[in-house]
Structure 1
Amino acid sequence: MTDHLLRLHGDVLAAMRRGPRNFAGLALALAEDEEPTDTEQSGFRDRIAGAGPGDGLTALWHRTLTGWDLAERADWSAAPPRTDERRADAYDRLGFDSGLRKALDHAVPVFKEPGPTIISTTPTSWYSRETAAVRSFYWTAYERLLRQKNWSDAAVAGLDEASHAVVERLADPTRPDAYGARGLVVGYVQSGKTANFTGVTAKAIDAGYRLVIVLGGTLNLLRGQTQRRLDMELIGRENILRGADPDDPEALIGVDYQDDEDWPEKFVSHRGRPSALGAFDIERLTTRDDDYKSLATGIRALEFDKQVRTQPLYAPDNLHRAAARVMVVKKNKSVLSKLIKDLKKIGGPLLSEIPTLIIDDESDQASVNTTDPKKWEEGKVTRTAINGQISQLLGLLPRAQYVGYTATPFANVFVDPGDGDDIFPRDFLISLPRPTGYMGVQDFHDLDRTDGSAVGSAERAHVRGIHDDAHGDRLSEALDAFVLTGALKLYRAAHGVPESHFRHHTMLVHESVRMAEHTALALRISSIWHQAAYTGQEGHARLAALFASDFQRFADDGLPTPASYEELKPHVSRARQLINSGGTPVLVVNGDTERDYAQPDLDFDRTPHVWKILVGGTKLSRGFTVEGLTVTYYRRRTQQADTLMQMGRWFGFRPGYRDLVRLYIGREEPAGRNRTVDLYEAFEAICRDEETFRAQLARYATLIDGKPQVTPAQIPPLVSQHLSWLKPSSRNKMFNAELVEIRSPGEWVEPTAYPTAPPELRHNTEVWRPVLDLLGPENVTLGHGAGFEAQIGTLDHETLIRILCDLRWSSPSNFSPHLESLLAAHEHGEGIDDWLVILPRQRSSRRVEATVLGSRPLSLAHRRRRRGDVFGAIGEPKHREAALRIARGDAGAGDGTGTSLVGERRGVVVLYPVVEDEPPRISAAGAIDPAHLVMAFGLVAPRSSTGPQESLVRFRAKDSTREDLAIIERGTDGP
């Protein structure tokens, strides 16, 4: 039965390419005589209000409204995206009444999650939404496939917006003068970056790019993974078959994917040969099993048929009729040499006409030039092999656009921006949002918690140490957890959770990069496995105890979980059988050659079920997706943040089993030279570095007078380092840039790198001691609601500057950029008169108070250092909120005292006398030794401290084209 209303609404919305228009008028114009138009909005409202799951009309409006909500630029609305105001503008233009608006808002809430953050200097006028809609053959097919894979409308719309943001910053493929843009897209580890560059490739090919080169990792394992993904989701059945009859077995001889269980059903279909449907074909120059060897038909492979021979290929009449070529190649010197050699045979005239897109997956690996500039010859750059070959490709293809993808961008943004032949993202840098359903840092680290409560603790739910006092090494427990979670997955599959979520079930053990140690570890795991007695009473008793003490406690209430181990017990046997299939539960994944990784049991694409314990090193820690990863046992150390971050294979999407994920990770292990390393806290440190980087990008993405505050060339100083020994990247990738100043008016600034030596702690306490005498003897109540008690006082800006300059730090760079801004405000007489000092007082009966250096009693705050010399969160949310409100001048009616303390040019300092010992060492007289006290603080500079049109950052960066700029060095004793 025809759904006339759905068909009519589909026709009407298809006519709204430029945005919402009056719905009733279009409906009358487009309705056919025999179908009801239902111009009354009540019928539409009732349909939406009463619609059940799977209703096509609701789905259509969900896609449409979400797309309008997310559009970064909308000619029809001045309201920002992802806001109620944008949605209201859409309803106004549609002419919908309040009843229909209410029904649609209930069915399709406004999607308010953050979008991509964009730093760009590139004009985007050539690629409008209307232009994209006119030519969208491959994007439409990709979008259709994603919906078939049950992607939500919001997820599809978000990918559409993010991939559009990349493509519009490439050069117009039809422009007469050649220009090659350079950009970088930053995602999260295992967060779907491939989905984004697949969408970018689809849109770019639709727009006119006719050669796509994807640099897909350094191993065939990774390259083949990327090739299959593009073949399955973009290139499609018809282009793979190249006209062969899919029902003729002889015609299919030699066609790859015949042994792939997903072929052909899960490969996108274009419903006919694209060239026969008025579009254009895609020719593959590489296959799933074959990397680039040579142009299969010689020079002809890159000769494009021109409809108008007198015009260049990039002329629209030629470009949009020509087939596209796609290749996925390894970042391998031999492979890239063959490609460069073949391109040189073709010659410059033809190559100069080909709009090309080069996508560099994991662009911080192998692609970055790591030679020392100090050793370059005069006027000549010395390049590492892969970097030099990428540079040659860009030189041979003047219309090539380079887009790097990475989750660890530090090495990329430290590239010399003055090297015009390198891959520095001079034109744009785009930070992708954290995807819905992604399990990342917030799911494993309690970044901003100051209490020890177990409620809602990510660490308590998912993180376990690798040692405990009772049992020592917890590897045996980790294996038990792996069996138990496998059984829980089987239980959930039997109780309605889609079985596809549990196709693979894996455990990763990563202790070393040494192959000999991998072999020994695999033998040890096998020995533990065969002695575990999983079929006997002892094994079941152990699993039952672990289930009750751990997995039952932290189970997701929304997922089926047995009430007792007895319900789960039947599935334990099946889980053990799956893990032990082939006679061993363990796969070793390492080696020096490609054949070391050609393991059928490790092929997640071709193998129906991979239920194994993977033991390996570096090759499992970048780019390669460990499907179904549920339990990780990790103790590998490194001193580079980006390397460590890439090892975080436990980040990713875990549908149906995120509550079962467990991370066993090293805590406080010896690292030599009387130092210990806490791997968990090291991960937390680099996660903070990454989040700080993203937050900074978001702040500076806001335009001032229509111009960006920073360009991509000015991004390097935004890279932070929370842990002194853990560098953002390896030394040979960090030859440029240091942040000089960062202005944070109206923002909470909380330094955390305080010294540990008693003399330095005493010094800092003595520096702050005079301020304590400025605090009033009576407590005041600040904040909203019940608020909190505090002692308060004021001091002038000059006095605070003297204090801050006299403090000592374990890592001066942690605070010096903020101090630089305060110094500049002081030197230039900008916007700060004085500072309100707040010292919070505890009300609890368990509060601890002490005097220091003869002061009045102070409430002591207990905090612990989370990473070496660096504390975790120090300030409490209610204190931060009050400080922000007062410094911003919006304390509000509910905070009478706070309102009276507001000053137009007044900042706020919150002091925290912090003790690390518990209980603190307080004398019988109620005093604490200043050598055992950390005088920590947070501050908020007033908004008056910087003009409304002034940039928030000042810095100097090393740039080979700007020799007049210098790096500012900081001493170790102070800023």
Structure 2
Amino acid sequence: MYLNHYKNEKTVVKTVQELLLSEEDKSLITPEKITETVDSLLSMKLYAKFRENLDYDFVIDELIRRNSIWIGQDSILINNVGHVAWLTTERKKDWRYWERYKEWQEKKLDWVSLNALDKSTDEILGLLEDPTRKDAWDRRGLVVGHVQSGKTGNFTGLICKAADAGYKIIIVLAGMHNNLRSQTQMRLDEGFLGYETHPDPEKIKLIGVGEIDSGLRPNYVTNRTDKGDFNKNLADGAGIRPEERPWLFVVKKNKTVLKRLHKWIHDHVANIIDPNTHQRIVTNLPLLVIDDEADHASVDTGEQIFSEDGIPEENYDPKAINSYIRKILNLFSRKAYVGYTATPFANIYIHEQAETKKEGKDLFPEAFILNLASPSNYIGPSRVFGINNGDGSRKNQLPIIHEIDDH
């Protein structure tokens, strides 16, 4: 049962939730308090019309669900060298991509989780650079989340806000296999594009956020079919101009695909010759790269040589996938890279000074590392198996392990 099926219920739930959020002490939001607030609202003359055919039990149950979960604080390491703070409340006014995504998520997420999503994506976006900033900038960060805890939902929210802010090219690196790439494309079709991507324009239909606000139509080159990865023939028909809507590319971490994408950007999107490197680069379109499962395939597993002073060998050849991700980033004067993973160990051990002449800097998250807090209803390994006390015993585990000592 979804809220958007019930206009009256949706309005009542949203209004009551806003009233409940004004409570300074959230521990006072009990089922009794929720019922009292709903009754009080419906007794008002302004809301009398909503009582007709209202599914009262559904409203109460939905509000209890939304207020039964808590989330801790995200933890973060930040390096703001060269960064200019820019994200303000004023800047976020009329952000339609985010607003429709938020409304779409309301039918699935409890209010606490939705607020946490809003807060964390604000934090991440604010640590990137203002896409309207004209001079060159480069921000690279890492977001760490628990397994199956909503990382895709988080980076979809980040993409929506980035599009609202003015990022024009958004590349999502989505696994190494066609089915995983296609699955991510489908999620972004629902949460960002708002329509089904299909090679046949006649078969495109509104879905997800597109059913909430169909006036936003970001551009796409890749589509949801198994063979819908980046294709030069399709891309050649896409004339990218800075004043247009944002462009979304969902691609595999595959040498051939990334090489093809790099060449196409170099040949068709780059707008000037860099006077220092004499290479074609893009200066008029800010880039956001989202690297899903950033510890997988993206990290260079070769061994670059460094001098005693920490200077890297500039002619070193990194592994192919790492090389082309960096080459794509290196084509842009204004770029941001955000990796998402549940297992960040490979990423944090990237040498912070690793750099080559052809690829530029490595993917070390030098700007920030943010650890997403998990909601109270998240069940992961520590919830199931408990925490090791250090003496061989465990605490806080679920009662699923029973020692048999009568053998």
For Structure 1 versus Structure 2, the TM-score category normalised by the shorter chain is 0.7 to 0.9
Query: Which residue number in structure 1 is paired with residue 292 of structure 2?
Result: 361
Aligned letter for 2:251? V
Contact residue 187 and residue 433 of structure 1 kept, 8 A: yes
**CA-to-partner distance for each residue in 1:834-893, whole Å, 9 max, x for gaps?**
xxxxxxxxxxxxxxxxxxxxxxxxxxxxxxxxxxxxxxxxxxxxxxxxxxxxxxxxxxxx
**Cα deviation digits, residues 210-255 of structure 1 (max 9, x gap):** 1100000011111111100000122113x8589xxxxxxxx96444
Contact kept, 8 Å, 1:227 with 1:288, in 2: the verdict is yes
1:373 maps to which residue? 304
Q: Pick from 405, 412, 430: which aligns with 2:347?
A: 412
SS in 1 for 2:289: strand
Q: Secondary structure at the match of 2:267?
A: helix
Q: Structure 1 residues 381 and 55 mapped into 2: Cα distance closer, same or farther (>3 Å)?
A: same
Q: Secondary structure at the match of 1:129?
A: coil
CA distance in structure 1 between the partners assigned to 2:213 and 2:293 by the alignment = 33
CA contact (8 A) 1:167 1:203 kept: yes
Structure 2 CA distance for aligned equivalents of residues 389 and 358 of structure 1: 13
The yes-or-no answer on 1:430 pairing with 2:370 is: yes
Native 8 Å contact 1:295 1:301 kept in 2: no
Q: CA deviation at 1:328?
A: 0.4
Change (3 A) 1:222 1:125: same
Cα shift at 1:391: 1.1
Correspondence for 2:181:
223
Q: Give 1:60's aligned amino acid.
A: E
Alignment partners' CA distance in 1, 2:328 and 2:393: 55
1:469/1:332 CA distance change after superposition, 3 Å: farther
> 2: distance between equivalents of 1:168 and 1:456?
36
Contact in 2 for aligned 1:124/1:168 (Cα 8 Å): no
CA contact (8 A) 1:115 1:433 kept: yes
Deviations along 1:467-521, whole A, 9 cap, x unmatched? 9999xxxxxxxxxxxxxxxxxxxxxxxxxxxxxxxxxxxxxxxxxxxxxxxxxxx
The counterpart of 2:86, out of the listed 123, 126, 130, is 126
How many angstroms does 1:380 deviate by?
Answer: 2.8
* Native 8 Å contact 1:115 1:162 kept in 2: no
1:232 equivalent in alignment to 2:168? no
Partner of 1:60: 18
Residue 76 of structure 2: SS of its match in structure 1? strand
Question: Which of 251, 254, 260 is equivalent to 1:332?
Answer: 254
Equivalent residue for 2:230? 292
Residues in 2 aligned to 1:380 and 1:265: alpha-carbon distance in whole angstroms: 48
Of 251, 258, 264, the residue aligned with 1:342 is: 264
Q: Superposition pairs for residues 120-519 of structure 1, below 5 Å?
A: 120-122=78-80, 123=83, 125-132=85-92, 134-149=93-108, 151-237=109-195, 240=197, 253-255=202-204, 268-274=210-216, 281-289=217-225, 290-294=228-232, 296-298=234-236, 301-304=238-241, 313=242, 318=243, 322-346=244-268, 347-349=270-272, 351-374=282-305, 378-420=313-355, 421-448=361-388, 457-458=397-398, 460-461=399-400, 463=401
CA–CA separation in structure 1 for the residues paired with 2:406 and 2:306? 52
Residues 178, 252 of structure 2: 8 Å contact kept: yes
Structure 1 residues 24-173: aligned runs within 5 Å: 55-62=13-20, 65=22, 113-122=71-80, 123=83, 125-132=85-92, 134-149=93-108, 151-173=109-131
Determine the C-alpha separation between the residues in 1 that align with 2:313 and 2:390: 54
Give the Cα–Cα distance (whole angstroms) in 2 for the partners of residues 332 and 454 of structure 1.
Answer: 42
The answer on whether the counterparts of 1:329 and 1:335 sit within 8 Å (CA) in structure 2 is: yes
Q: Tell me the alpha carbon deviations over residues 341-387 of structure 1, each in whole angstroms, 9 at most, x when there is no partner.
A: 11111234272211110000011111111112349995433301111
What residue identity is the alignment partner of 1:386?
Answer: I
> Residues 297 and 362 of structure 1: is their aligned pair in 2 closer, same or farther, counting only changes over 3 Å?
closer
Say if 1:148 and 1:457 are closer, same or farther in 2 by CA, change over 3 A: closer
Rounded Cα–Cα distance in structure 1 between residues aligned with 2:123 and 2:232? 34
Q: Distance in 1 between matches of 2:173 and 2:389?
A: 41
Residue correspondence of structure 1 range 918-929 to structure 2 within 5 A = none
Query: What amino acid does structure 2 have at the position aligned with 1:390?
Result: I
Number of aligned residue pairs:
344
Q: Distance in 2 between matches of 1:171 and 1:440?
A: 34
Q: Deviation of residue 450 (structure 1)?
A: 8.8
TM-score (norm 2): 0.74
DSSP-derived class of the 2:211 partner: coil
With over 3 angstroms needed to count, the CA separation of the structure-2 counterparts of 1:228 and 1:469, relative to structure 1, is: farther
* 1:13-32 matches, cutoff 5 A: none
8 A contact 1:285–1:295 mirrored in 2: no
Structure 2 vs 1, CA of residues 252 and 171 (structure 1 numbering), >3 Å: closer, same or farther? closer
Point out the more displaced range, 329-338 or 381-390.
381-390
Q: Distance in 1 between matches of 2:134 and 2:115?
A: 32
Query: 1:417: how far off?
Result: 0.5
SS at 2:354 equivalent: coil
Kept in 1: contact 2:294–2:339 (CA 8 A): yes
How far apart are the structure 2 equivalents of 1:176 and 1:457? 52
Larger Rg: 1
1:849 corresponds to which residue?
none
State the alpha-carbon separation in 2 of the partners of residues 270 and 456 from structure 1.
Answer: 43
Displacement of 1:434 in angstroms is 1.2
Q: Deviations over 1:383-421 (max 9, x none)?
A: 011111011011111212100011111110101111251
The answer to whether the 8 Å contact 2:75/2:372 transfers is: yes
Q: State whether residues 67 and 111 of structure 2, in contact with CA within 8 Å, keep that contact through their aligned partners in structure 1.
A: no
How many Å separate the matches in 1 of 2:306 and 2:393? Answer: 54
Distance 1:109 1:273, change over 3 A: closer
The AA in structure 2 aligned to 1:389 is Y
Question: Following the alignment from structure 1 to structure 2, what is the Cα–Cα distance between the partners of residues 450 and 170?
Answer: 39
Q: 2: CA distance between counterparts of 1:391 and 1:441? A: 34
> What do the CA deviations read for 1:902-950 (whole angstroms, capped 9, x no partner)?
xxxxxxxxxxxxxxxxxxxxxxxxxxxxxxxxxxxxxxxxxxxxxxxxx
- Structure 1 residues 332 and 60, CA, compared in 2 at 3 Å: closer, same or farther? same
Q: CA deviation at 1:301?
A: 2.1
Q: CA deviation at 1:54?
A: 5.4
Q: 1:479-878 counterparts in 2 under 5 A?
A: none
Q: 1:443 to 1:388 in 2, by over 3 A?
A: same
- Unaligned 5+ segments in structure 1 are 1-50, 70-83, 88-99, 243-250, 258-263, 275-280, 305-312, 471-975
Contact persistence 1:216–1:226 (CA under 8 A): yes
Letter in 1 for 2:253: K
Q: Distance in 1 between matches of 2:405 and 2:189?
A: 48
Distance 1:141 1:124, change over 3 A: farther
Cα shift at 1:284: 1.1
Q: Output the CA distance in 1 between the equivalents of 2:147 and 2:164.
A: 28
Q: Is the 8 A contact 1:360 1:405 kept in 2?
A: yes
Measured in 1, the distance between the counterparts of 2:367 and 2:120 equals 16
Question: Aligned-pair distance for 1:176?
Answer: 1.6
1:111-170 Cα distance to aligned partner (Å, 9 max, x none): 8632211211234631112211x1411111111111122x11111000000111110111
Judging changes above 3 Å, is the alpha-carbon distance between structure 1 residues 187 and 55 closer, same or farther for their aligned structure 2 residues? closer
2:155 aligned partner, one-letter code: F
Q: Distance in 2 between matches of 1:380 and 1:455?
A: 52
Secondary structure at 1:131 match in 2: coil
Q: Secondary structure at the match of 1:139?
A: helix
Task: Identify unmatched segments of 5+ residues in structure 2.
Answer: 1-8, 28-36, 42-62, 273-280, 356-360
